[in-house]
Amino acid sequence: MRKDTYGDIGGITSAVKHALSVGYRHLDCASFYANEREVGIAIRESGVPRAELFVTGKVWNNCQGYERTRVSFEKSLADLGIEYFDLFLVHWPLPGYFAETYRALEELHKEGKVRSIGLSNFTIDDYEELSKTMTVAPVCNQIEVNPLLYRKDTIDFYKSKDIVTVAYKPLRAAACLTNATVLAIAAKYPSLTPGQLCVKWAAQNGLGVIPKSSNPGRMAENLRVFNDDGSQTISVEDMQALDGLTTPAMLVAWQEHYESRRGGDPPPPMVEEETK
């Protein structure tokens, strides 16, 4: 949840505090979201013990490289007011930088400042390149997954490496909620809204899921997906129908977004680099 989504500090803090009050315990953070101080205030004011929380952080493109990553990591810790991250990720596989960025995460892991490390938005090729130098296996790869963007080959590849795929944008910024197939299938399950259906679909496909919302009602709605008794399991037929909604045009759009994001906002030269 970027700061510009809410427009003020109080909105971010209130949204996070409410999420914690209804039972959420995983906070997916990133320096790029520009709200870590506000999230930190919510953590402190919530009264929830740090040991009960799972806090994820990410290093943005303009802070990649070994030294910059360590500086960015420490700033994120300070802004959040916490002493360690449960999970820290390379936000995008910035060409020429992500191997050194990941090396910094490996060192931070060895030092006990982060309990697990992982990736975000990495393709199969990106992982293959990283695997040439990495010494600590990533625990996850956080990528966009929803019924309108389901890259099964990528998910299956990471599963073969014992790396969990964590799905962000499980509703594709609400685009799934107007899709005719999603709506028709949701109508078959009285206890599932279209939004819950998409979250349930991802979970049944063996993915971690991190839905985002500042709406109290939808927060509770999303959480109920994981607290049901299993009676509303999506049928094999309906799962297959949802699996098949990804079109070639959607994959092309994703590829364009991937190229733009991983190539954008590169880090400036370090002082020592400028003098060489």
Read off the DSSP letter of residue 210. Answer: E
Kind and range of the H or E run holding 118:
strand 114-120
For residues 148 and 179, the answer to whether their CB atoms sit within 8 Å is yes
Q: Are 229 and 189 in contact (CB under 8 A)?
A: no
Q: Which of 6, 24, 33, 66 is catalytic?
A: 33
- Answer yes or no: are the C-beta atoms of 243 and 207 closer than 8 Å: no
Q: Is 66 a catalytic residue?
A: no
Let me know: does 211 contact 24? Beta carbons within 8 Å.
no
Residue 77 corresponds to which tokens in the numbers above? 């810790």
Q: From edge to edge, which strands make up the β-sheet containing 208-210? A: 26-28, 54-59, 85-90, 114-120, 140-144, 164-168, 208-210
Length of the chain measured in residues: 276
Q: How far, in Å, CA of 106 to CA of 136, rounded?
A: 6
**Active site residue ranges:** 33
